């Protein structure tokens, strides 16, 4: 199995860089190798399901993994990410139409929302209960709770604003925090989440994203995915993206190659937003990757912007969502999005993607 290995270093100008290379080592996961990209051998592959059936099975799997009101994953890191994981999954579930959620799902969803609302500090949210707040987890919590009609404390928005750096991007932690300097660097995915959470046009953040969106390996992100960042930009609810940024995202789509289920799901979200004809084909392939238990093979990999990963990646080049919750939530959301517009084709009447920012500042 080929695997990406992340290696970080500072350049002479004090810019932080992440290198990516490939090894042939065995992937440490309970999913068979053949499952990782193509949905598995016949004995591991789910029977053919429609999109609605795949979504229902995926939701059953997700809610069966909800324990004590929250989700946990990336067990290599212990319980360090429970709040972040739960907020991330709730953001994806908040994109679904209520018609996908039965009464039992709704009850468990309410438990998760209640747990997340109580899991932060009085000011904001950290990656696990009691941890120092960070902008990325706080932004995800704000987006998730707002989608489900919860009141957002002003202090949470203030924390996010305090994490904007001079280059326009947002860092996971503010300058005055006790976090390592590495986690005070601007991160593209934190920037997208921050702008969405604040709900205010931010040209400086847009300029930062336009300068980083085509970098590969993915620069200093919490999830190592070339398309996840693009999907978040295109899915922004707060405003719209300038044509330069949209153009760069569109260019990246031309480099698409079949990869993991998580990448397939992110690509499907992008293809849907950009009205790309290939969306239907990708949706079919994503369904075919689903496993009999309703999950998708673990393939959401943590990037170097997650505390603990920089130290651990030397022994574990890929830190995956071994419980398969993030990958499954991403796949369910992408399929539901695609199913909402059947027969999508290039040049259809689907509204153009929202833009991330146009004018004004926070």
Q: Please, are residues 286 and 263 in contact by the beta-carbon 8 Å criterion?
A: no
Quick one: tokens of 314? 């030397």
**For residue 259, how many other CB atoms are within 10 A of its CB?**
16
Residue 348 within any structural domain of the chain: no
Ramachandran region, residue 301 (left: φ > 0; alpha: ψ -120 to 50; beta: rest): beta
Residue 15 within any structural domain of the chain: no
Strands (E), 11-87: 16-23
- Per-residue pLDDT, 256: 54
Q: Please, are residues 161 and 124 in contact by the beta-carbon 8 Å criterion?
A: no
When divided into structural domains, the chain yields a total of 1
Cα 108 to Cα 62, 105, 119, 319, 326: the distances in Å are 10, 5, 16, 27, 17
Torsion of CA 197, 199, 200, 202, to 10 degrees: 50
Beta bridge partners of 22: 4
DSSP H helices in 162-242: 188-198, 203-212, 228-234
Residue 56 within any structural domain of the chain: yes
The per-residue b/e assignment along 36-62, b for 16 or more CB within 10 angstroms, e otherwise, is bbbbbeeeebbeebebeebbbbbbbbb
| Cα(272)–Cα(333) distance, integer angstroms | 12
Residue 4 within any structural domain of the chain: no
| Cα(254)–Cα(197) distance, integer angstroms | 29
| Cα(278)–Cα(110) distance, integer angstroms | 36
Domain of residue 226, residue span? 32-339
- Per-residue pLDDT, 317: 59
- Per-residue pLDDT, 220: 61
Tens-digit pLDDT profile for residues 189-241: 899 999 999 998 899 998 898 887 766 555 566 787 778 888 888 876 544 45
Residue 7 within any structural domain of the chain: no
| Cα(200)–Cα(188) distance, integer angstroms | 17
- Per-residue pLDDT, 3: 39
Residue 6 within any structural domain of the chain: no
| Cα(150)–Cα(292) distance, integer angstroms | 35
- Per-residue pLDDT, 78: 74
Residue 37 within any structural domain of the chain: yes
| Cα(222)–Cα(360) distance, integer angstroms | 28
Q: Please, are residues 214 and 334 in contact by the beta-carbon 8 Å criterion?
A: no
Residue 184 within any structural domain of the chain: yes
Tens-digit pLDDT profile for residues 250-266: 666 665 555 789 999 99
Strands 3-10 and 16-23: antiparallel
Check residue 98 and report its DSSP letter.
G
| Cα(124)–Cα(244) distance, integer angstroms | 33
Quick one: tokens of 243? 């044509």
- Per-residue pLDDT, 252: 63
- Per-residue pLDDT, 223: 83
Q: What is the separation of C-alpha 329 from the centre of its chain, rounded to a whole number of angstroms?
A: 10
Query: Which CATH number does the domain housing residue 268 bear?
Result: 1.50.10.20
Quick one: tokens of 315? 């022994």
Which residues of the chain register pLDDT less than 50? Answer: 1-43, 238-240, 311, 313, 343-362
- Per-residue pLDDT, 254: 60
Q: Please, are residues 260 and 224 in contact by the beta-carbon 8 Å criterion?
A: no
- Per-residue pLDDT, 247: 66
């Amino acid at each position: 199995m080929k695997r990406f290995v992340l290696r970080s270093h500072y350049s002479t100008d004090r810019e932080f860089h992440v290198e990516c290379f490939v090894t042939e080592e065995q992937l440490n996961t309970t999913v068979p190798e053949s499952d990782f990209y193509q949905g598995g051998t016949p004995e591991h592959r789910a029977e053919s399901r429609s999109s609605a059936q795949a979504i229902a099975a995926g939701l059953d799997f997700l809610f069966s993994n909800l324990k004590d009101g929250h989700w946990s994953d990336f067990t290599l890191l212990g319980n360090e990410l429970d709040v972040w994981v739960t907020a991330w999954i709730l953001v994806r579930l908040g994109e679904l139409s209520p018609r996908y959620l039965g009464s039992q799902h709704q009850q468990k969803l309410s438990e998760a929302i209640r747990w997340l609302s109580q899991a932060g500090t009085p000011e904001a949210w950290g990656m696990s209960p009691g941890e120092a707040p960070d902008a990325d987890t706080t932004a995800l919590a704000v987006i998730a709770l707002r989608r489900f009609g919860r009141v957002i404390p002003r202090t949470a928005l203030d924390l996010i604003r305090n994490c904007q750096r001079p280059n326009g991007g947002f860092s996971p932690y503010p300058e005055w925090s006790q976090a390592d300097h590495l986690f005070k660097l601007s991160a593209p995915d934190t920037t997208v989440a921050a702008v969405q959470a604040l709900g205010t046009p931010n040209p400086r953040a847009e300029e930062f994203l336009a300068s980083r969106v085509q970098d590969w390996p993915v620069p200093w992100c919490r999830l190592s995915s070339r398309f996840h960042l693009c999907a978040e930009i295109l899915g922004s609810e707060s405003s719209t993206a300038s044509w330069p940024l949209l153009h760069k995202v569109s260019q990246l789509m031309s480099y698409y190659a079949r990869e993991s289920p998580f990448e397939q799901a992110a690509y499907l979200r992008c293809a849907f937003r950009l009205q790309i004809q290939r969306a239907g084909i990708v949706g079919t392939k994503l369904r075919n990757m689903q496993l009999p238990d309703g999950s998708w093979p673990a393939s959401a990999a943590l990037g170097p912007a997650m505390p603990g990963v920089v130290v651990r990646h030397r022994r574990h080049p890929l830190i995956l969502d071994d419980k398969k919750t993030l990958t499954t939530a991403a796949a369910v959301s992408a399929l539901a999005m695609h199913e909402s517009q059947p027969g999508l084709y290039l040049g259809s009447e689907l509204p153009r993607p929202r833009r991330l920012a146009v004018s004004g500042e926070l």
